[in-house]
Amino acid sequence: MEIRFSGSGGQGLLLSARILAAALTEAGLTVAQSNAYEPVSRGGLSRSDLVIGEGEADYPLARRLDVLLILDEAAATVSTGLLTPASLVLCDAERVTTPPQGPFRTLCLPFTETARTLGNPRVTNIVALGALTAQASICPPEQLLAAIVAQTPARFERLNREAFAAGLAMGATEPA
């Protein structure tokens, strides 16, 4: 399975990928992670790819995406060439105004709006991770929640739990 987290710098994309990679590794899968970002701390194009398998990866870079998460318009069309008819594209409904078009499945969900209602738009990435988990059935939600708690500061545990639960609920309301 190949997953890409994409958007702009400062959105926690690399953290989200690292959290998912930790949960999948804990489940006994092999995960290769690669990152690419523009040399600015906030606002530049950013992405993180996970190539997931049961054995050693034959090629550690994403070539055909099963899941694409887009959190910013800057990344809306960058990955279209890696999508297949079986791909799932999840977009932030507020920050991605022109989602990729094609024979793949696209869902635009209110990640940023939901994070804002929880009191902190910085957990948009965790909301999105919850929705991705519900839609793509990559690993059990409780396993991913444990990785979130382990990989983020303890002072944000309650907020991250709420954000993840909101994302799971959001993803579960959409047909898979």
Rounded to an integer, what distance in angstroms lies between the CA atom of residue 97 and that of residue 42?
Answer: 20
Rounded to 10 deg, the angle between the 157-173 and 124-136 helix axes is 40
For residue range 96-141, list pLDDT tens digits in order: 999 999 999 999 999 999 999 999 999 999 999 999 999 998 899 9
Q: Taking the complete model, does pTM exceed 0.85, yes or no?
A: yes
At 54 the pLDDT is 85
Domains in the chain (CATH in brackets) are 2-173 (3.40.920.10)
| Distance (Å) of CA 130 to CA 81, 123, 164, 170 | 26, 11, 5, 8
Q: What are phi and psi of 85, to 5 degrees?
A: -60, -25
pLDDT in tens, 55-65: 777 777 889 99
